[in-house]
């Protein structure tokens, strides 16, 4: 046990530097690779951070739905719940029918209050792929083809089932469709809380599903707190003097309101501001929490860039986006797992000259970010 605690878990950090003006920059595709985001942080100098009202307005464009499921241990006769079989039988026909129409690919969803290392987890991606992360017993009950998890810690303890709902075999009446529905209806009967997001025009394809479930609408929550006399690294677009790991630690400390002004006798925190540094008399930390789609993140980036274009005393701003710890997938459709932290995030540092630095990080149970 003590030997395990002494070992530092493997982490991956990929750094990319480019310009918004470069037509070949990969920022858009990299942002779209992380489908399920629960939090976006924008700590930075107060003059260069958009007002809270502007960020709130940009996040109020799209509704989010939380499908409530009763726990049989304490609500045996609770409200109507979401059975994953309903997700297939009620949503897939609309999905397949609209494959070449406007509704196609406009809905995504994620199981809620499930733990990827212990529970069965579900993800519906915008490209129509359904990902199930199942324990061994559930996988055997389902009776659908899958593969052993890359990151299971106990022998043969977790399996991954990936289903392309747009495949012709998944059309209603097809062999693959019948096998999947029968497994979910008669054998596994998988139920879960579910978070759903749809883009403009995609709500119509959810009406049949929502009519069979108890649901409530939620919007991203915006929080902010002002900071004074904040130690800040001297950030320039070349970032030659600032180690990326130290920079990310500092950004995390600002978001968590942890002081980086530590003396040698302090036992509470060893975090320090990277050198060279300066002091900001006023700063603002803003967090947006909810089910954030890549399109939401793009809007936040554009909002921040608009403020960077204006004459300001400071010439940079940042946005850190955190993926759901217990999502079955992280980058693209790759499997996500949790050993200790479950990190899957990226931090975008933007400068006045339209250049940016992108840092993509994962924990021990993820593949390399794009």
Is 370 inside any structural domain? no
The enclosing H or E element of 366 equals: none
Residue finishing a domain among 218, 249, 281: 218
Residues with Cβ within 8 Å of residue 72, at least 6 apart in sequence: none
Is 195 inside any structural domain? yes
Strand pairing category for 215-218 and 64-67: antiparallel
CA atoms within 13 A on the CB side of 250: 22
Q: What is the pLDDT of residue 69?
A: 43
Q: What is the pLDDT of residue 347?
A: 94
Query: Residues 229, 351: one domain?
Result: yes
CA 304 to CA 316: how far, in whole Å? 10
In the block, which residue shows the tokens 């509470």? 268
Q: What is the pLDDT of residue 239?
A: 67
Query: pLDDT tens digits, residue range 126-143?
Result: 888 899 999 999 999 998
Residue finishing a domain among 169, 191, 218: 218
Query: Residues 258, 338: one domain?
Result: yes
Strand pairing category for 277-292 and 316-323: unpaired
Residue 368 CA, chain-centre distance (Å), reads: 16
Region of poorest pLDDT, from 28-42, 242-256, 306-320: 306-320
Q: What is the pLDDT of residue 55?
A: 59
Q: Provide the H-helix boundaries in 47-167.
A: 52-59, 84-86, 92-97, 136-142
DSSP letters for 253-286: HHHTT------TT--S----PPSSEEEEEEEEEE
Entry pTM: 0.86
Burial 233-248 (b: 16+ CB within 10 A, else e): bebebebeebebeebb
Region of poorest pLDDT, from 67-71, 141-145, 183-187, 326-330: 67-71
Q: What is the pLDDT of residue 75?
A: 20
pLDDT higher at 229 or 49: 229
Confidence check: pLDDT of 92 > 90? no
Is 368 inside any structural domain? no
Tell me what the mean pLDDT of segment 13-34 comes to: 92
pLDDT higher at 111 or 256: 111
pLDDT band at 275 (very low <50, low <70, confident <90, very high): confident
Q: What is the pLDDT of residue 268?
A: 62
Tell me what the mean pLDDT of segment 229-255 comes to: 81
Residue 232 CA: distances (Å) to CA of 25, 244, 253, 369? 28, 14, 11, 28
Region of poorest pLDDT, from 28-32, 72-76, 196-200: 72-76
pLDDT higher at 43 or 32: 32
Query: Residues 213, 332: one domain?
Result: no
Query: Residues 92, 150: one domain?
Result: yes
Query: Residues 39, 133: one domain?
Result: no
Query: Residues 197, 255: one domain?
Result: no
Percent of the chain scoring above 90 in pLDDT: 19
Tell me what the mean pLDDT of segment 261-289 comes to: 75
CA angle 315, 321, 324 (to 5 degrees): 170
Q: What is the pLDDT of residue 137?
A: 92
Query: Residues 126, 57: one domain?
Result: no
Is 117 inside any structural domain? yes
Residues with Cβ within 8 Å of residue 295, at least 6 apart in sequence: 62, 199
Query: Residues 326, 211: one domain?
Result: no
Please check whether residue 276 is in contact with residue 233, taking contact to mean a CB–CB distance below 8 angstroms: yes
Residue finishing a domain among 218, 235, 267: 218
End-to-end Cα, the chain, rounded Å: 34
What are the residues facing 135 on neighbouring strands? 158
Is 144 inside any structural domain? yes
Confidence check: pLDDT of 264 > 50? yes
Query: Residues 74, 41: one domain?
Result: no
Query: pLDDT tens digits, residue range 149-207?
Result: 887 756 678 899 998 887 877 777 788 888 888 898 888 888 888 888 876 655 666 77
Percent of the chain scoring above 70 in pLDDT: 75
CA 369 to CA 201: how far, in whole Å? 31
Residue 252 CA: distances (Å) to CA of 95, 225, 312? 40, 14, 24
Query: Residues 233, 346: one domain?
Result: yes
pLDDT higher at 99 or 71: 99
Q: What is the pLDDT of residue 71?
A: 28
Asked if residue 239 has a cis previous peptide bond (ω within 30° of 0), the answer is no
Q: What is the pLDDT of residue 324?
A: 92
Query: Residues 352, 266: one domain?
Result: yes
Count of the separate structural domains present in the chain? 2
pLDDT higher at 33 or 93: 33
Tell me what the mean pLDDT of segment 302-330 comes to: 83
Query: Residues 191, 137: one domain?
Result: yes
Confidence check: pLDDT of 21 > 90? yes
Is 367 inside any structural domain? no
Q: What is the pLDDT of residue 64?
A: 59
Mean pLDDT of the chain: 77
CA 191 to CA 85: how far, in whole Å? 9
Largest Cα span, the chain: 70
CA 344 to CA 366: how far, in whole Å? 8
**Which of 57-71, 253-267, 312-326 tops mean pLDDT?**
312-326
Counts for the chain of helices (H) and strands (E), in that order = 10, 15
The enclosing H or E element of 155 equals: none
Q: The domain containing residue 14 runs over which residues?
A: 2-61+220-362
Query: pLDDT tens digits, residue range 47-61?
Result: 556 655 565 555 555
């Amino acid at each position: 046990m003590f030997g395990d605690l002494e070992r530092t878990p493997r982490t991956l950090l990929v750094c990319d530097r480019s310009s918004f003006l470069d037509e070949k920059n990969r920022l858009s595709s990299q942002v779209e690779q992380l489908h399920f985001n629960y939090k976006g942080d924008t700590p930075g100098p107060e003059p260069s951070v958009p007002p809270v009202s502007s960020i709130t307005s940009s996040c109020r464009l799209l509704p989010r739905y939380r499908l409530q499921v009763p726990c049989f241990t304490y609500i045996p006769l609770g409200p109507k719940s979401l059975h994953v079989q309903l997700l297939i039988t009620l949503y897939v026909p609309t999905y397949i029918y609209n494959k070449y129409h406007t509704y196609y690919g406009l809905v995504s969803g994620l199981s809620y209050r499930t733990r990827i290392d212990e529970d069965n987890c579900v993800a519906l991606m915008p490209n129509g792929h359904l990902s199930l992360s199942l324990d061994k017993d559930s996988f055997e009950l389902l009776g659908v083809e899958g593969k052993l998890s890359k990151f299971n810690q106990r022998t043969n303890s977790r399996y991954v089932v990936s289903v392309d709902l747009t495949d012709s075999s998944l059309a209603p009446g097809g062999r693959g469709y019948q096998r999947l529905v029968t497994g979910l209806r008669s054998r596994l009967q998988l139920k879960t809380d579910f978070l759903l997001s749809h883009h403009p025009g995609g709500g119509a394809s959810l009406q049949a599903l929502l009519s069979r479930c108890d649901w409530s609408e939620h919007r991203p929550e915006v929080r902010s707190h002002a900071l004074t006399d904040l130690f800040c690294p001297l950030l320039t677009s070349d970032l030659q003097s600032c180690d990326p790991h130290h920079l990310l630690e500092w950004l995390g400390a600002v978001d968590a309101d942890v002081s980086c002004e530590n003396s040698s006798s302090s036992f509470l925190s060893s975090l320090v501001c990277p050198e060279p540094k300066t002091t900001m008399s006023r700063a603002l930390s803003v967090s947006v929490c909810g089910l954030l789609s890549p399109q939401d993140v793009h809007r936040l980036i554009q909002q921040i860039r608009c403020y960077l274009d204006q004459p300001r005393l400071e010439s940079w701003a940042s946005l850190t986006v955190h993926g759901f710890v217990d999502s079955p997938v992280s980058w693209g459709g790759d499997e996500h797992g949790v050993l200790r932290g479950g990190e899957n995030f990226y931090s975008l540092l933007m400068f006045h000259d339209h250049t940016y630095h992108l840092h993509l990080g994962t924990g021990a149970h993820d593949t390399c970010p794009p």
